[in-house]
Structure 1
């Protein structure tokens, strides 16, 4: 009768060795149970699917999709169950024949690389850009033209001054001023609205500084009126004038000539309202 270990003794020795050096999955499972966590708890905390957690605890790393991902899952699960992941990663490397060499980044993302394609000219975009440019040019031209014509034709009303020159009152260059005073035409007199006050200031015989304000006291014009020039002001109720050299000025109020005999060099302050001309 030989003396030796019985099969029961051998099985007991193998069980003790397994407890002393548990596998990676067994170590993670024991740590999870010791922490009072379920597989669902670990899955929710780490976002690792239940099936992968069960497979890793059974030492099946195939569902991980490769050693790189298996290492990441081992590290994540170990931290979740309060284990140091480094010994488990070292054991995993030893069982897999050492730590694999780093995989170059380019092959991993080869499938996602956007390869440039040679394309022909984008005629649609070019046509749209050309149409937009033409529309912008036409709009700018129309807007600028409208501003110019409006500036020429506008008559001062309220706080907006305007200038109108009389062809008969404007002397030609290098010619003597006309001997006769300019008279407003019948159409100009008829055009004066009855519900507003219209004042035309002209300088047929010289030049004078003038200032014009509306009934609110807002300035319509303040400057020098040269010989031969004229300006027209219009307001809903009242025009206030200051003439620096009243003797050089001819006035028409609401289409009618003012016959006052202003002295040369005299400064006059005048106010005109709707209705018949009157000096304020």
Structure 2
């Protein structure tokens, strides 16, 4: 029986129904003849020419969970909040409007979701190893430093070479009036504007991420660049955590709509919805979503 269908649909016949007919004037609830959520998502994926692995790659929802949702089994999602997030994410990936599916899920499971413990979510959601993008910001900074250093060396080195050449040609005669030495003003190098990290006193040689549960509690997971877990658990409303690594910080936010992010001393603006699961990676050159 599909999730969202009325249990009365499983009765063998109306003659065997022990429930008396409704009284006069009493409305009878219509049976839900809509296709199940899993059926809609599976058919949309097939129509879009996508495989389960391709959907898993684009949404970062694990393959077993995608299979389970297409079979209308939401027990592996880790709770209602994360089941809704998976339905929304997969529906967008296969080109389906998620709103009717979320409404159908609410009809079957209730509109208000119960709090989800951290441990089931931890088993349901794990960070995938992402291919690290080139850090173009650091490369540009290094190139600017090299150019400025070369210009300064050329300016000072060229002046010293011309002075040594004049001295080698011999001192002027006693009758000749000494020529005044040209005064050389060193090239004034442009002063670099302080970055947002410097203003916020965040070290430039590391990536610093602060998570603040400003709008509610959320399960979070944080790992360093070696994949070691720095934190894994619930962050209650009003609490905050700060993580620092020499290269990058990988995050999983169970309820991204409840979180405020500060990366390298600068707040990261986002449009995360309540109950939305997000996986993020930040490096020293951010704030940019990794």
The TM-score by the shorter chain falls in which range? 0.3 to 0.5
Answer 1 or 2: higher relative contact order, Cα 8 Å, separation at least 6: 2
Larger Rg: 1
Scaled by the length of structure 1, the TM-score of the pair is: 0.33
